[in-house]
Amino acid sequence: MPKISSDQPVADQNANLRAMLSESGYSDKAIDYYIRKPHMGIIENADQISEMTGTCGDSMKVYLKVENGRIADVKYQILGCPGSISAAMAAVDLVRGQSIDEALALDDADVFKSLEDIPVKKHHCIQLAVKALQKAITEYRKHNGGRDLIAATVPAGPALRSAGDTPGETCCTGAGKPGNCGAAGGCCGKPS
């Protein structure tokens, strides 16, 4: 197995690190995420900061930035193994630009597929990265009353359901309620 020493040039250290991780079962893509750490750090004006510690004792802090109901950016601070770091970096690339709902649907299999391969005994590290992100998104939504979730999923204005409907009025859902009647007719007291 190649040795890594602080006396070696950084390029050599990275080459030896790559060789060690490759021998352990990490794909080139997972190794690249681990070495580059593209989403490691903090977001100064984050909308949500959440923390999670795994059963192994490793921990992650997730910084979340949301704009117009979509994940604008995510950063992780991680005290953890190469598996947890590569999984977290891949998770960010998967959810950036997604709506809150889409990002919450991210699962371990999505991240594993993106990483291509990591050692079997490191699969729980993917779970930690995904759960930490889901916790941050869930807490963001809780603290924001679902405002951004609604902005991301609901069209800008109410649709008109029939020729006689009034622009700007929402569709009613019960008898006698004001608004547009819809195809069923009569629910607002208007003739169908």
Task: Using CB under 6 A, list all residues that contact ligand FES.
Answer: 54, 56, 58, 80-81, 83-84, 122, 125, 128
Q: Report d(CA 77, CA 51) in Å as an integer.
A: 9
Between 108 and 148, CB nearer to ligand FES: 108
Amino acid at the residue 117:
D
Between 35 and 81, CB nearer to ligand FES: 81
Q: Report d(CA 172, CA 179) in Å as an integer.
A: 5
Min dist. Cβ of residue 81 to ligand FES (A)? 4
Q: Report d(CA 51, CA 151) in Å as an integer.
A: 26
Min dist. Cβ of residue 82 to ligand FES (A)? 8
Min dist. Cβ of residue 122 to ligand FES (A)? 6
Between 119 and 158, CB nearer to ligand FES: 119
CA torsion, points 100, 104, 108, 109, in degrees to nearest 10? -70
